[in-house]
A and B are shown apart, each in its own frame.
Chain A
Amino acid sequence: MTTRRQFFGYAGAAAAGAAATGGAVVALAKDSTTPEPVSRTISPYGEHQVGIARGAPASAELVAFRLATDRAGLGRLMRLWTSDIVALTDGRPAPGDTAPELAVPNKGVTVTVGFGPRVFDLTGQKPRGLDDLPVMKHDRLQTTWSGGDLLLMVGADDAVSVVHAVRRLIADAKPFATPLWRQTGFWDSTGANGEPVTGRNLFGQVDGTGNPAFGTPEFDDTVWSTEDGFRGGTTLVVRRIRLNLDTWDELTRSEQERAVGRKLSTGAPLTGTAEHDELDLEARDADGRLVIARNAHARLSHHSENDGRRIFRKGLNYVHDTGATRESGLIFLSHQADIAGQFLPLLTRLDAVDALNEWTTTIGSAVFALPPGFQPGEWIGQSLLS
Chain B
Amino acid sequence: MKTKLLLLLVPFLLGACGSNATQEAAVSTPGILVEDAWVRATTGAKDTTMTAAFLSLTNPGDTEVKLTSATSPIAAVVQLHEMAMQDGKMVMREKPGGITVPAGSHTHLSPGGDHIMLMSLKQPLKPGDEVPLTLKFSDNTTHDLKVPVKAFTEEEEHYHPTPSTK
Given A76-B148, A95-B54, CB of A20 within 8 Å of CB of B8: no
Q: How far is the CA of A10 from the CA of B68 in the complex (A)?
A: 23
Q: Which residues of B contact A31 (CB under 8 A)?
A: 14-15, 18, 20
Let me know if A27 is at the binding interface, CB within 8 A.
Answer: yes
Q: How many A-B residue pairs lie within 8 Å, measured between CB atoms?
A: 120
Inter-subunit contact B148/A80 (CB<8 Å): yes
Q: Which residues of A contact B146 (CB under 8 A)?
A: 79
Binds A, one of B31-39, B69-77, B79-87, B88-96: B31-39
Q: How far is the CA of A26 from the CA of B12 in the complex (A)?
A: 11
Q: Which residues of A contact B12 (CB under 8 A)?
A: 4, 7-8, 24, 27-28
Q: Which residues of A contact B106 (CB under 8 A)?
A: 10
B18, B35, B126: residue with the most chain A Cβ atoms closer than 10 Å: B35
Let me know if A332 is at the binding interface, CB within 8 A.
Answer: no
Given A3-B11, A4-B11, A20-B31, CB of A175 within 8 Å of CB of B127: yes
Q: Which residues of A contact B7 (CB under 8 A)?
A: 3
Binds B, one of A11-19, A147-155, A250-258, A262-270: A11-19
Judged by DSSP, the binding face of A is: helix
Taking CB atoms and an 8 Å cut-off, the chain A residues in 174-191 that contact chain B are: 174-176
Given A79-B146, A92-B36, CB of A17 within 8 Å of CB of B154: no
A92 and chain B: residue at smallest CB distance: B36
How far, in Å, is B132 (CB) from chain A's closest CB?
Answer: 13
Q: Which residues of A contact B153 (CB under 8 A)?
A: 96, 98
Inter-subunit contact B151/A171 (CB<8 Å): yes
How far, in Å, is A360 (CB) from chain B's closest CB?
Answer: 41
Let me know if A6 is at the binding interface, CB within 8 A.
Answer: yes
Let me know if A87 is at the binding interface, CB within 8 A.
Answer: yes
Inter-subunit contact B150/A96 (CB<8 Å): yes
Q: How far is the CA of A3 from the CA of B5 in the complex (A)?
A: 10
| Besides A95-B36, A95-B55, A96-B151, 14 new A-B residue pairs in contact (Cβ under 8 A), listed by A number | A4-B15, A11-B33, A17-B31, A27-B15, A30-B20, A76-B128, A79-B146, A83-B37, A96-B38, A98-B154, A172-B127, A172-B148, A175-B126, A176-B128
Considering only CB atoms and an 8 Å cut-off, how many residues of chain A contact the other chain? Answer: 43
Let me know if A23 is at the binding interface, CB within 8 A.
Answer: yes
Let me know if A123 is at the binding interface, CB within 8 A.
Answer: no
B24, B60, B154: residue with the most chain A Cβ atoms closer than 10 Å: B60
Given A20-B33, A79-B146, A87-B35, CB of A11 within 8 Å of CB of B16: no
How far, in Å, is A31 (CB) from chain B's closest CB?
Answer: 4
Let me know if A382 is at the binding interface, CB within 8 A.
Answer: no
